[in-house]
Structure 1
Amino acid sequence: MYLILSLLQQMSVYLVLAYMLSKTPIFLPLLNISSQVSHKFSCYVLFSLFCVMGTYFGLSINDAIANTRAIGAVMGGLLGGPIVGFAVGLTGGIHRYSLGGFTDVACAISTTAEGLIGGLLHLYLVKKDKSALLFNPMVVLAVTFVAEVSQMLIIVSVAKPFGHAYTLVSEIAAPMIIANCIGAALFISILHDKKTIYERYSATFSRRALTIAERSVGIWNTGFDATNSEKVARIIYEETNVGAVAITDNEKILAFIGIGDDHHKPNTPISSGSTIQAMEQNRIIYLGGRETPYHCSISNTCKLGSALIIPLRAGKKVVGSIKLYEPKRKLLSNINRSMGEGIAQLLSSQILYGDFQQQQALLTQAEIKLLHAQVNPHFLFNALNTISAVIRRDPDKARELIQHLSHFFRSNLKQNIDTVALKDELAHVNAYLTIEKARFTDRLDVEINIDDGLLEKLLPSFTLQPLVENAIKHGVANRLEGGKVRIYSEQHSLGYKVVVEDNAGNFSPPAADYEGLGMEIVTKRLINYFGDIAELQIDCRKGEFTRMSFLIPNNK
């Protein structure tokens, strides 16, 4: 009983010292499990000192020492892994061996084994993704019990003479097992409490996320580009106090603020395989733990030691990533990980909203510009002159042309919506072509051959008319005779291709004027509605034909 009380008394001094150290930055590396060399070295030094102190605090009994050395060895293995546990146990064992006694070899072996036992449990729990159990006092008590029992068995097996060893173990086994198990459980409890307080304290900084939201809202409304990304990255860097912040699109770095900005340069291609993997798999990747250490893909002397890579999404589509870094001397805290995920969700929503606004603005711009194109004064002037010429010789024909002109402008006024059925688009184009045929008389021949199954398909309004107008203005109008415009459909593996073709072959890339803007808006609206596969394609063979085509996919 006296021995138990003496060991518990010494353990109390031991724990008071541990508690005092927990108030200093020395304990911070112990609050997280990491594979960083600096973290492991800190565990080795700290727990080796505890191991040595446990021996010095021990009681001399029959040329042996009853002690609390096991606490340092087991804790070193639990928090540092098998290599650190072995190293701490070996250091403590060598120190004990240097003090002599008939149990010196046995104690050296057993202390090393205790550190290794703690390290093997660390390895098992980390592989099972249950590292939180390493901070559970009951788990630590159990593994210390196993380690202490193992120590007693080693002493009985190795120490000579056997009779002395057996007598010693009979006397010290129960007191040492009780003292060391309770001491290890209380030690980890101190760490657990420190960890909890630290994370709760850190959680108060989550309010910074609200500040980030307030400061960054609206920045990406004008586009997900390098300029806007640099503004957002700087806000996040200032509010989170992490080592560095990077924002990328799917191909290059858009912005980088913080440690490492001397070699992580904006507008350079992404070189990190982990970043590409995170975006391709649409999942968060943390680099800096035991299984996935961080290695800079650009510089071997990079001061960054951990990174959190979070995909940025516009809806379901991954459009880039945000990356939070910490230097090698500092671990990326759980609160910053959680905050990073929340920030990424916030920014993804902003990107999606910005895209929506851009598409809305694009639609409005397209409607205004294309409507202006349809009410081209030159077309109206030519149409009225044509009707004026026809009315003298064929009043009925003139009346028909006026009806078509009325239908054309009525369609312009009515089609202020995003999409129309292809049959309505063809009716609008037919009204335009009827007037143009009367103007060019026998110089213009029109052929329309669209699959009946496409007539009810929806497409962006005012898609065909600019293409037909371009075919006449830059094709048929330049021929003295035999001008022909064909509007037809072709089956494609992904849907149907709609083609507008003239037989002049006079197309040249339009300048940045009204006509060029018209073609640009048509292709952008097609892509926004159908996707990239619907991009406007232009094929021209000089003097033979110009074909403008786009795809209506089956899956729309």
Structure 2
Amino acid sequence: MRGGSALLAGVLVAAWAAVYLITQVLVAPPLGVLPTLASGLVVSTVVVLGYPSALRGPRGGPLGGSAARARSWPPARRPRDPRGMRDGLTIAAAGRSMPLRNGLTPDAARRTAQLIRPLLGGDAIAITDTEQVLAFVGPGSDHHHVGGTLQTRVSRLALGKKRTVVVHARDGIGCPEPGCPLRTAVVAPLAVADRVVGTLKVYRVHDEPAPRVLVDDMASMLSLHLELAEMDRERHLASDAKLDALRAQINPHFLFNILNTIASKSRTDPDESRQLLLRLSDFFRYAVRQDGHFAEFSQEYFFVRTYVSLEQARFGDRLRVRYDLDPQVLTSRVPVLVIQPLVENAIKHGIADSVTGGTVHLRARVDPLTRTTSIRVSDDGAGMAPEVLDRLLAGKRPGTAGPQHSGVGLWNISQRLDSLFGDRYSFDVASTPGKGTTVDLQIPLR
């Protein structure tokens, strides 16, 4: 039993003993049972409510008394948010929504400086890159202009040494403005990997600088957010490059074959030839001009139908396509140029070389419980041996070391999905020689 609880139990025992002594021994005649119990309960309630035991906790905090006061450092400048949260929780809460997560821009720097100013106990906060002031909040903002070049000597010192610099006197700051109210400073570098990209500066108007460890911790947190922003930017650039590559690799043989089909039909069926030209125009317009990485499923579905109609002009009755779509899936957003390459692969590897042709199935569902969109493209064509499938997924032509459009397409799709969803998707390909191929894709619902 803890010491506080044992002491409380002893006090309660003594209180009941006193109640018994008064009501049963000192009073004549003795009180009845009910008055005695009522008196004991009143005394016990007063003791429990008035005693800061383990049952209710110390009045000064979890440690109570001097222990609680010893942890409150510094007492006069303990930063709190408007709800009175403790320092660690406040910084953690701020860290989850740090504006610099979007990159080192003037707007993000300004909002970050306003957010962290009460946390660091500084009178003024500045955030810079390696050349100019991106944000300045607090005294001195009249001459430490946002967008201006770095004026203080301490900033250049922190950038040059790539470590935190603490200044205890106004002269050490090196501000050229004679009336600058700033007297002390702690300047910590902001880094992405091994590269210093800016500084976090905490100024005070009196002779005690802000705690260095607190500024270092905040600078490390900001640097982490900048690294994450850099990774996001690189991931988006990589996704853009993969999407451009997928657009550029539209099989030229498909184009030549369709043009030959149109040329032959121009003599026998001019109206159909004209319709095919319009569909071909729609096909390439969508492939080239689609903005962003996501589109509504209905748009991708139209793109697939356009492609299939062009291929059916070539293969005729040998190519059959069946669609099984959940109406809810039409408004969901899916990565662009993903479904059509899967259908193209099914036609090219499953149906094109078959004398009797075959059927391609496109199935799509939305699961509101798991919030996922599931897409399946399957065919009943020739299928592939495991080693051939492995080479296609690796982006190489079966039997050679060179790339092949369809193989690169599957590999590219997989890489794009990695960039867009991380580990929150599944992409499975199964194929059996003589029975066909099935591709299952499951992505988060958007």
Structure with the larger helix share: 1
Q: TM-score, normalised by structure 2?
A: 0.50
Q: TM-score, normalised by structure 1?
A: 0.41
Larger radius of gyration, structure 1 or 2?
A: 1
